[in-house]
């Protein structure tokens, strides 16, 4: 993910080929939404990638300002108090939040912004931005999703069972998104995703 600070000047120059709109992408863990989003931004570098804020510790090769903005709990709660976040949630004792400033800055710069977000966050954002393009990425089956989650977990935490249970609940919300994509074959899924974005947002 590219680093983003609200108000910064982005490296991309020139007129955006896409309309300034929120692209909201949700999916259960393991469905492949992050891969699809990354490929779309590579093809359309004018798309701003949202970078959320979190109070959880930085992991492995993650970078502050790239994967997340890593901040202390006290700072996060201070930002809540002054309505800095358009959407936030507490998950497993850690806060996660989306900055309203990032969205406003992207739209003011005539650029689309893509948000890889959970179902709850998507619901909040679409209330505020009803014109947003919403896409839900589905696995081909629960069995395949379980296989992917097990492979990702590699026996380290065994929390894939919790993720699988959550996935069933999340997938019930797919009907509330304008588009649904089944990620059975990555190339086909990406082709479908890209076509949706171009059909909806490409400028005349």
Length of the chain: 204
- Asked if the structure places residue 15 within a domain, the reply is no
Tokens of 45: 């570098």
For the chain, the average pLDDT equals 87
pLDDT above 70: residue 30: yes
Q: The domain that contains 43 carries what CATH number?
A: 3.40.50.300
| Residue 194 to residue 69: CA distance in whole angstroms | 28
Query: Exposed (0-12), middle (13-18) or buried (19+): which is 60, by Cβ within 10 Å?
Result: exposed
Answer whether residue 3 is part of any domain: no
Give the C-alpha separation, 66 to 61, whole Å: 11
| pLDDT for residue 123 is more than 70 | yes
Q: pTM for the full model?
A: 0.85
What confidence category does residue 6 fall into, taking pLDDT thresholds of 50, 70 and 90?
very low
What domain range includes position 126?
Answer: 22-201
Domains of the chain: total: 1
The residue ranges of DSSP E strands in 50-151, in sequence order, are: 53-54, 69-70, 85-91, 94-99, 113-116, 133-138
Q: Which residue has the tokens 């890889």?
A: 116
């Amino acid at each position: 993910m590219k680093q983003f600070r609200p108000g910064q000047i982005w490296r991309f120059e020139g007129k955006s080929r896409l309309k300034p709109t929120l692209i909201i992408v949700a999916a259960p863990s393991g469905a492949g939404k992050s891969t699809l989003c990354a490929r779309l931004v590579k093809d359309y570098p004018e798309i701003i990638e949202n970078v959320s804020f979190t109070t959880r510790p930085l992991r492995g090769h993650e970078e502050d300002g790239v994967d997340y903005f890593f901040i202390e709990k006290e700072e996060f709660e201070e930002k809540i108090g002054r309505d800095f976040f358009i959407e936030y949630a507490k998950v497993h004792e850690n806060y996660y939040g989306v900055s309203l400033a990032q969205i406003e800055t992207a739209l003011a710069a005539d650029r689309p912004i893509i948000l890889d977000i959970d179902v709850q966050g998507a619901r909040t954002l679409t209330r505020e931005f009803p014109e947003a393009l919403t896409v839900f990425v589905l696995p081909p089956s629960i069995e395949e999703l379980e296989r992917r989650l097990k492979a990702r977990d590699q026996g380290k935490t065994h929390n894939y069972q919790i993720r699988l249970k959550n996935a069933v609940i999340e997938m019930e919300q797919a009907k509330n998104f304008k588009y649904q994509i089944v990620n059975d074959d990555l190339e086909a899924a990406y082709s479908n995703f890209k076509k949706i974005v171009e059909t909806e947002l490409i400028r005349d």
